[in-house]
Amino acid sequence: MTLRRKLLVYSLPVVLVVLLLAAKLISTVIAGNAAVSNFADSDVTALSDDVGTLRTLNIIEPAKAHFAAGVLAALEKRFDDADREFSLALAGTEHAKSCPARVNLALVRESLGDNAAASFQPRQAVEQYLAAKQVVEQAPQGCFAGNTDTDEERRAVRADTLVRLDAKIAGVAAPPPPPPAAPPVGSVPAVPAPGSAPSLEQQRRLNPGAGDPAERLRDILRDAAG
């Protein structure tokens, strides 16, 4: 084997690695940009394909793959999975550039807290709210309060995060109101006329005649949340 042939044979793996690396870099940029577009369009199917591509190429920017996977999980309301993926994305991101991961992680944990509160799990709800609050308090300046998000609604949601979390923690931790006083002995509750609309008090009862009281309470909470 000539010297030239030997050099070609020995250098071939290096060339292949370089070409593969270049392909990964290009594909990662394309997939990353596509993920942003598909997230904005709420295209779950396309975003799922983007996540698969980024996971294959996550040697270059693993945080980007975890972030996209977190977005997909959040869109599909798999909040536990979203929490894990955004946490990994945050761990792999510089503090100064961590705002997008922090905003998403805080909102996911707040949603987990809301779900726990609606399921009558106050301790778990407070744990999630406190975990979300920790993410906010460790954020770079201007990430939440004082942010300059171009979307007005999104800007307000981010700016109010700490206040909102504190209010929810206080609300979940507050003791329940005392039960209403029993009616006087011998009194007869008024019976509405046939076909009349139920009274406000009847509407607020957990079970005005049928159904599971817990389900009725969830309906009331849902209506109040609006």
3-state class percentages of the chain: helix first, strand second, coil last, to nearest 5: 70, 0, 30
pLDDT of residue 16: 40
User: Based on the number of CB atoms within 10 Å of its own CB, is 38 exposed (0-12), middle (13-18) or buried (19 or more)?
Assistant: buried
Distance CA 216, CA 193 (A): 24
pLDDT of residue 42: 46
pTM for the structure as a whole = 0.58
Secondary structure in 3-state letters for 167-225: HHHHHHHCCCCCCCCCCCCCCCCCCCCCCCCCCHHHHHCCCCCCCCHHHHHHHHHHHHH
Q: Residue 28: which residues within 8 A CB-CB, separation 6 or more?
A: 54, 57, 60, 61, 64
Distance CA 70, CA 32 (A): 13
Segment (H or E) for 118: helix 99-118
Structure tokens at 223: 């209506």
Q: Running DSSP on this structure, what letter comes out for residue 8? A: H
Provide the residue-wise pLDDT of the chain in tens; the chain has 226 residues.
554 444 333 333 433 433 343 333 333 333 334 434 444 444 445 545 555 555 555 545 678 778 878 877 887 888 899 899 989 989 999 999 998 888 889 988 998 998 999 899 999 999 999 999 999 999 999 999 998 988 888 888 889 999 999 999 999 877 767 777 777 776 666 666 666 655 544 544 444 444 454 555 555 445 444 4
Distance CA 65, CA 135 (A): 20
Numbers of helices and strands, H then E, in the chain: 10, 0
pLDDT of residue 72: 79
State the Cα torsion 108-113-118-121 to the nearest 10°. Answer: 140
pLDDT of residue 189: 63
pLDDT of residue 182: 73
pLDDT of residue 19: 37
Which residue from 154, 62, 150 is spatially nearest to 104, judged by alpha carbons? 154
Q: Residue 59: which residues within 8 A CB-CB, separation 6 or more?
A: 24
Structure tokens at 161: 């995060």
